Structure formats: structure tokens, C-alpha cells
Structure 1
Amino acid sequence: VRVAAIQFSIVLPTTAPVADQRRAIHLKAAKMIDAAVLAGANIICFHELWTMPFAFCTRERLPWTQFAESAEHGPTTKFLSQVCG
């Protein structure tokens, strides 16, 4: 079994619209997933909260709560289904 551990920085400024930030993160992740697969990874692990900027050092709720999504039908689940399917 070969495991790939992936951690990366945010792509767009946190002032960008949430949908744009998520899309940019997904595009960056797709490149890293492809590289991990080419290196022979069977399991790919991302860092916690990889789908958003780290926002827990602030008291503000918005826009951070807008990153919440359905685990069954959300944009990240759909993205991973397409990339890994």
C-alpha cells in the first residue's frame, strides 16, 4: 500500500467569492491527486479542512459558514467522485 499525504496553501485571497475559492482549491487538489496516482498511491489523505481557508482563528461567522456543504451531495463530494471515479 502506498499512501500520499497532501497539504497545500490556499489558492485565492479569502476576499474572493466562496464558490471561486472552492473551485480553485478543487483544481489544485486535482493536480495533486493526479501526481499521487502517477506515483503509485493507493490512498490519498488531505489535511483537515482542506476545502477551505483555515478560519478558526477569527470570531467572524461569515463568510466561513458558507463553506459548509452536504457530505452526500456537496460540491466536494461531486468533485472527488469525478476525479477519483
Structure 2
Amino acid sequence: RNRWFLDVLYGRGYPAEALALVGADAPVIEPGDMEAIAVPCDFLGVNYYFPEEVANAPEDYPLRTRIVYPQDRQRTDFGW
């Protein structure tokens, strides 16, 4: 998931395997877009608020996975 955002930010374009997953739903890339996105940045913050567990779900497009919520885990009222 990080590569979808970070590869573009650091001038490597969208990952080919990610573009293949989304197919026709991939973003339209106009001339100059990649250069505009990949300008140098002073700071990068990555936040992970909670882990996700996934299960195989061949019917779920495009990633063929679904998030599972183990019932034995304590959660907040917000669902985290």
C-alpha cells in the first residue's frame, strides 16, 4: 500500500503491479503529472493507526482481499 503513494512521490511512478490490479480504474496521468508529484519534499510522515488483517476474497475487485475483524480482539466504540 505504501508504494502506491511513495513510489510516485519519489519519482518512480506508480508501481506496475498496482496499476495492473486497478486496470481501467487507474488514475489518468497527464503530461507533467509525474514531475509535479515528485518535487523534493522536506518531510514525510507515515501514520499507522491500527493494523489490518486480510483474507483471500477472489470476488472482491481489485485487490482480491477483504479486511477481517477478529472477534476476539477488543475494539473501541470507533471500531479501532
TM-score, normalising length: structure 1: 0.27
Higher relative contact order structure (alpha carbons within 8 Å, sequence separation ≥ 6):
1
More helix by share: 1
Q: Which has more radius of gyration?
A: 2
